[in-house]
Amino acid sequence: MRNGFFETATMVINTVPAQLIVGQRDELVSHANQLVREALCPQKGASNCFCTNCRWINNRQHPSLVWICPENDYTLEDIEVIFEKTRFSLDDGAVFFFVLEKANQLTAATANRLLKMLEEPPAGYHFLLLTTNAEAVITTIRSRCVLTNLASASADESRHVLLQHFLNQHQPPDPFIFESELKKQGLDDAQSAALFEVLANAVAALYKDAVLSGNHDLIEQLTRRQELIERNMRRLPQSGSSDLFWKQLWLRWHQ
């Protein structure tokens, strides 16, 4: 291992040699750019970082990055660079990125040529395939990638806003605002269960902090809330009773 940031970056990224990222074109490009910066910049791509690595990455000139964006369908010539670069093995702990925009424009021939590489790239080489339409990506490619959907990631985040109505001590409980946000989310049963788990974990963490800091009022309040969570854990919403579940929980929570 050469230095710290390579180590961490490799630990995070090494588990996933090939990712297929789905989203709007602009967010795809900035998301991929950010992933590369997090791995190659000593500041992990902090928003105010303008180090040489970040500048090279932003200009697509970084020696550990090849960014491909074909006009039309991919040709074998477009992807040849991948095989040229990967002939060389990287230093221990180093990482190298190939970003392939418009992954839905990989043809059968280019996909075939890439399959083995995506499946088992030489150590340290990573592939970020970007597309606005996952369905249009050749199945053999899709099945070799870990899929990340940027739209659903941001939907997750916006769902977490709902939890502020349970966790934010500084926000006075307001049933009308809560109900209108609940309606806006339109949670189904599975999403409710997932969100409830996030809430349960957050309360458990708060409880731990309260115990450590010896805040007795908070410990008492959080003990009641943990009991409430346990009771509700056994009656998670089924068959579309999500909104009712959250409303009742909210009422008891703020009693």
Which residues contact Zn ion (rule: CB under 5 A)?
A: 41, 43, 49, 51, 53-54
- Measured from the CB atom, the residue of 22 and 36 that comes closer to Zn ion is 36
First vs last C-alpha separation in the chain: 55
Contacts of residue 138, Cβ cutoff 8 Å, sequence gap at least 6: 106, 107, 108, 111
List the alpha helices (DSSP H) in 64-188. Answer: 76-85, 108-119, 139-142, 150-167, 175-185
Is residue 108 within 8 A of residue 138, CB to CB? The reply is yes
- Measured from the CB atom, the residue of 28 and 40 that comes closer to Zn ion is 40
The residue number whose beta carbon is nearest to Zn ion equals 41
- Measured from the CB atom, the residue of 47 and 169 that comes closer to Zn ion is 47
- CB of residue 48 vs Zn ion: minimum separation in angstroms? 9
- CB of residue 211 vs Zn ion: minimum separation in angstroms? 39
- Measured from the CB atom, the residue of 5 and 207 that comes closer to Zn ion is 5
- CB of residue 130 vs Zn ion: minimum separation in angstroms? 22
- CB of residue 247 vs Zn ion: minimum separation in angstroms? 46
- Measured from the CB atom, the residue of 43 and 226 that comes closer to Zn ion is 43
- Give me the residue label for tokens 């221990």: 92
d(CA 249, CA 167): 13
- CB of residue 64 vs Zn ion: minimum separation in angstroms? 13
Helix axes 242-253, 216-233, angle to 10 degrees: 160
d(CA 202, CA 53): 36
